[in-house]
Structure 1
């Protein structure tokens, strides 16, 4: 009897582990970790580190990743105390800043093609490798752009990166001027119904109809929390940045460019 109960407990534990992994996986990557610190600490830090009126910010030059070598003006930075993690790469310049966040275990090369394209179009772009504190990584990337002349900043994130950015809208006193979630994950959340109600910036939710992780149904589930968001559903199964390299990449770029045009319309020109 004891042996039977033990086997049952082991089987139940295995089922729970598999369910958790399936709910939080992002493009086959490892399970994401929750942001560091309790809710109160996160909100206090968010208030101190808003994206407007930032305190003095500094970062040391670092080696460029191979995907940016030979790109004019591309510069890599390492933040003080980052312990070898959280490298950031900027390209382009000007007042219109764009922060690209990768998927759960992605890096600064994931959005390199779009970063180079937008930089050629007059944007100041930063991509990054995730640091140990993911919310802090997004905040630091935004601060880096602002410290180098960007007066308005939009966020674009794939998979968990987009989900995290959408969740950050509720606990920051100063927000980006627009957020685009590319294949955001309804299963991870980080926001509640109506999270977008108090946010007056531009919102884009883009994905593919049959993405195993963020299909049309899940994308529209996310949209219920952000009723003002534009929802763009493209054919296929591709996920996050892969969409832009696939057969419907041109349509994805048109959606992203339209979002950015609307986002920066007040300061463009």
Structure 2
């Protein structure tokens, strides 16, 4: 009898342990889902120092750019001057959408699982306001996707490019501030992550461009505390915290969307002002 009781207790405890393990795994997955792949983290040591020095050299060594027209996503159909591109050798992923014209370029990066439609509303708005905009579906190499989007804008005649990214996209862009081949004049991280996102301590210390960090106070992935943790690595950044729980591009469609747009527009005005050039 005692043996049977012990056996049942062991089975019960084993099931309980398995359930707790599953819950823990689910929690960890939710917490890191927006962070992207580990390979997106910034290089360390001497390579970081070398890239930091390269920020003083300007944009150099960019590969020759070529892209073929592609099918326009449905979220952009009917939008004036919207054109989709596909880079050679990237079937099924890496599609880019360009809108607008002129020297002031803006690259929008989606969240980890996002695509070119995520920032469609803001891309259309900025293109109508005189900006030259590109957004994209993520390619296999996410850093290269951002770099290629920047090169696409330059191939279309832009002289300066700002980066705007949501969640992992924004944090990855913050980690690319030392990239000599795709240096932006400004970076806006919308709901950036405090870890696992692609930047390292000191990534922004030698950067002279405009910086904006924007999020909501109670965002489960990037609340005010986490946003200010990111800001400690970028002491020159403007930090804007809005009420609520919305995340990344969702903030611009929520009850405080007008405030978010004013913050983004102010950042872009400063980025492209004559004094910033």
How high is the TM-score relative to the length of structure 1? 0.86
- Give the structure 2 partner of residue 85 of structure 1: 93
Q: CA deviation at 1:190?
A: 2.2
- The reply on whether 1:198 has 2:202 as its aligned counterpart is no
Q: How many residues align?
A: 258
Match of 2:160 in 1: 152
Residue in structure 1 matched with residue 137 of structure 2 by the alignment? 129
> What's the counterpart of residue 58 of structure 1?
66
Of 31, 34, 39, the match for 2:38: 34
- Residues 35 and 134, structure 1, Cα contact 8 Å, conserved in 2: no
Gaps of 5+ in 2: 1-9
Q: C-alpha displacement at 1:34, in angstroms?
A: 2.6
The residue correspondences of 1:140-179 to structure 2 (distance < 5 A) are 140-172=148-180, 175-179=183-187
The structure number with the bigger radius of gyration is: 2
SS in 2 for 1:126: strand
Any conservation in 1 of the 2:38–2:196 contact (CA below 8 Å)? no
Q: Deviations over 1:126-175 (max 9, x none)?
A: 01000111111000000000011011000000011001101111444651
Q: Is the 8 A contact 2:162 2:271 kept in 1?
A: yes
After TM superposition, the score normalised by the length of structure 2 is 0.84
Q: Does 1:254 align with 2:262?
A: yes
The runs of 4+ residues in structure 1 deviating greater than 4 Å are: 7-16, 36-40, 50-53
Alpha-carbon separation, structure 2, partners of 1:82 and 1:222: 33
Find 2:219's aligned residue among 200, 207, 211.
211
Q: 1:134 to 1:51 in 2, by over 3 A?
A: farther
With over 3 angstroms needed to count, the CA separation of the structure-2 counterparts of 1:181 and 1:19, relative to structure 1, is: same
Q: CA RMSD in A?
A: 2.8
SS in 2 for 1:205: strand
Is contact 2:41–2:198 with CA below 8 Å preserved after alignment? no
For structure 1, the 5+ residue unaligned runs are: none
Offset of 1:193 from its aligned partner?
Answer: 2.6
The structure carrying a bigger helix percent of its residues is 2
CA distance in 2, matches of 1:164, 1:237: 22
